[in-house]
Amino acid sequence: MSTTTQNLAGQSILAGTSTEGSGRTVNGYNPATNQPLEPAYSLIDEQQLKLATSAAAEAFESFRCLEPVKHADFLDAIAENIEAVGTELVARAMAETGLPEARLTGERGRTTGQLRLFAQVIRKGDQHGVRVDPALPERTPAPRVDIRQRKIPVGPVAVFGASNFPLAFSTAGGDTASALAAGCPVVFKAHNAHPGTSEIVGQAITKAVKDAGLHPGVFSLVYGPGASIGQALVKDPAIKAVGFTGSRAGGTALMAAAAARPEPIPVYAEMSSINPVIFFDGALAEDPAAHAAAYLGSVTGSSGQLCTAPGLVFVPEGEAGDEFVRAISGQAPETSGQTMLTEGIYRSWVKGTETLSAQEGVKLVGRGTDGATENAPAPVVYSAGISQLLENPVLQDEIFGAASLVIRYGSGEELATALSRLEGQLTATLQLTEADHATAAQVIPTLETKVGRILVNGWPTGVEVGHAMVHGGPFPATSDPRTTSVGTLAIERFLRPVAYQNFPEALLPNPIAAGNPWNLTRRIDGVLQAKGE
């Protein structure tokens, strides 16, 4: 495949067709210079949006029944097409986001890797979740009829691109990959901060759809005003679920719109998290200065624009804790601001840090230096007492960027109380040694009710894409704590169970048919049976 930035049309791709919008235009901007990038992107209106949603509904009937090998090959083809673009994709993403080449090269690998991982899931077929309770005509006092269950795709899915991951949480990112893997067509709303990057990847998906001979409505890429087109997309009756990564305000607005529909639909929104890190005495005593350096590295990486960045760290009172804070004060000036994704995000960071610093009891611990580019504020770390955290909800507000708050605690009881008052989070991290196990064991049950992922002796930034990963958590981390947006379990969001009772063999769908024609792992009368059994 040969796709270059010179081939960018500046238009939506509606069911395989490049379509000029009828509204105003927007440009991507280089956040390092605040200069606009060409081409300008024309924005569609609600009538044009209907072309995408109607086509998705038409495509659903054939796409949801796709034979496993063809389905998996389709996802693999998307990955291959993205890789075939070469350096042009990373270069455009760098220009639109200010993120460094190494970060974006890794993100591209994560994007193609998760597509291939879902292709493996499809080939194995476990997502069908087949269960068979065979008929028991001789059972007393009442016979049992044959009952079979499988999971089917819910229908077309609306996916919203994230600002901070122009590839891995964007056009072909985790929400799109898991929805397509489930058998759901996708209408993707591009983030206006990186429109060129979205179009390049959108072209790669569109080519894979065409080459596989699929209905063109399997994928559409739309550019439009965030409020009006986003709301219209969620309200469209053809859409049956929503994937979103962004702010709490944006996510809750989509949740409200979805709930108000005549047919309410689920919104899987990943929103707000400050990801507490908890130091215990034994761990902190080992090398407070080294821990401070690792902490600052996690706070400042990618300019702090990661949903798992540690915005809150609990540090015990005492000499080791004092040394940790002194080390932050000494090391913070050596850190430098990195270009943030957009001028708007930079302004929100400034407002958030000004608000936090104005709160009673909040003190400055350390500040770095401004970066050399536009929108590159100096990283900053504050501190406060545990009583301030418990009494002032502002101290739990997420600041999207390189900013964090240190809370000193005096006892395990104080720590447990503070953790019990936290909002829902994506992650919590325990820094401990074997000597801290007993103390840590006392807070783990509380953390299990508050977060989706608990780490030991690591840092929350960096999310492995695999089978066991959970990237989710109680509200406001996400809108549904039962799900994950990363890893193979993400496919479950876009599937639902259907039972088939007393069906003639001739009418049974392939996944649950007699003889197991698709060679799936199935649970027969409650007993798991591998392929071929």
3-state secondary structure of 478: strand
Q: State yes or no: pLDDT of 59 exceeds 50.
A: yes
Please name the amino acid found at residue 19: T
Angle between helices 87-97 and 195-211 (to 10 degrees): 150
> Does the pLDDT value for residue 510 go beyond 90?
yes
Of the pLDDT bands very low, low, confident and very high (cuts 50, 70, 90), residue 501 is very high
Percentage with pLDDT > 90 across the chain: 95
Q: Is 35 exposed, middle or buried (0-12, 13-18, 19+ CB in 10 A)?
A: exposed
Q: Which of residues 2 and 520 earns the better pLDDT score?
A: 520
- Residue 236, classed as helix, strand or coil, is coil
Nearest C-alpha neighbor of 182 from the set 247, 255, 266: 266
Mean pLDDT value of segment 279-294: 95
Burial code (b: 16+ CB inside 10 Å, e: under 16) for 16-33 equals beebebebeebbbbbbbe
> Would you give the distance in Å from CA 169 to the centre of its chain?
6
Structure tokens at 457: 């002796």
Is the pLDDT at 143 greater than 90? The verdict is yes
Over the stretch 70-101, which tens digit does the pLDDT of each residue have? 999 999 999 999 999 999 999 999 999 999 99
Tokens of 464: 């492995």
User: In the structure encoding, which two tokens stand for residue 466, read together?
Assistant: 């695999």
User: How large is the average pLDDT for residues 427-448?
Assistant: 96
Q: Dihedral of the CA atoms 248, 253, 258, 259 (nearest 10)?
A: 90
- Give the start-to-end residue ranges of the domains of the chain: 11-134+149-271+484-492, 277-456
**Domain 277-456 homologous superfamily, CATH:** Aldehyde Dehydrogenase; Chain A, domain 2 (3.40.309.10)
Task: Centre a 10 Å sphere on the Cβ of residue 505 and count the other Cβ atoms it contains.
Answer: 9
424 and 476 Cβ atoms separated by less than 8 Å: yes
- Among 487, 421, 404, smallest CA distance to 453 is for 487
Alpha-carbon span 348 to 361, nearest angstrom = 22
Nearest alpha carbon to residue 91 among 194, 174, 1: 194
Active site residues: 270, 307
pLDDT in tens, 450-477: 999 999 999 999 899 999 999 999 999 9
Alpha helices of 260-318 — where are they, by DSSP H?
281-286, 288-300
pTM: 0.95
pLDDT at residue 462 in the model: 86
Over residues 250-271, the pLDDT tens digits come to: 999 999 999 999 999 999 999 9
Cα radius of gyration rounded to whole Å, the chain: 25
pLDDT value of residue 236: 98
Question: 421: closest CA among 445, 401, 391?
Answer: 391
Q: Does residue 211 surpass a pLDDT of 80?
A: yes
- The mean pLDDT of 480-494, rounded to a whole number, is 97
Residue whose tokens read 């005593």: 285
* Topology of domain 11-134+149-271+484-492, CATH: Aldehyde Dehydrogenase; Chain A, domain 1 (3.40.605)
